[in-house]
Structure 1
Amino acid sequence: MDTLLAPLASPLPSYLEPYRFWIWLQMVAWRLYVRAVKGRGIPFMTVIDRQGTVYLKWIGHPPHEVPQAPEDPLAFRPSKAFRIAIGDLDSAYPGESRNPVQRAANEYPRGIHFTKSGPLPLPDI
């Protein structure tokens, strides 16, 4: 049997018994709404007030049963700098190179060559 047209699950108070059909009709309307919005088989909860009006309280997981994984205080989380250094993330500077030979070649212009020589001559006075 389809749960769309299922009877009311809980007994109604005596003063709402004459309105049982209208309360059931509201429940069918809420079931149709939940199926249209979330799909079939999604849990939801309704509440009936003293006047016989049916309200939707929640759809999906109940608020007290929402699965929350506790955060492990001892878990290792590498920093962003570490992840960039090992190559897990791209650098924030797209022109930056990790190759030290290429970096040194880019820092000095091609016309200047440094050679090992003796001390500099004294300045002219």
Structure 2
Amino acid sequence: MSDQVFPGPALRPLQLQLGAQTLAGYESAGTGRPILLVHGNSSSSRIWQKQLQGPLGAKYRVIAIDLPGHGASSPAPHPETDYSGHGYAAAIAAAARALDLASAIVVGWSLGGHAVLNAAASLPMAAG
């Protein structure tokens, strides 16, 4: 997949190796307060392209990740536990730590919203 999905500023593709799990996503060109975006069920980070490449992404460090088994992320290494609220929450918390998202605003849509709520206790540095 090209890092130029829509016209606008180029995106930096992400690939995080978190133990046996590889999470993919995109990061905007902005440098302001970090914003982590988490997609819904059967979706991917691509739903956030307008936010990543628009005025929000130009001003803030906007990051959209693909949950395990979604988009360009690898399938979950332990499907019975990783494809759950707690499993997705663990992936979000691990990504936030790997990306050093201190004081991040974390936004989730649908399944991503539930996962972010489950991750809240593991994200003491984040603002929900």
- Specify the TM-score bucket, using the shorter chain as the normaliser: under 0.3
Q: Higher relative contact order at CA 8 Å, sep ≥6: structure 1 or structure 2?
A: 2
Length-normalised TM-score, structure 1? 0.24
Structure with a larger share of its residues in strand: 2
Larger Rg: 1
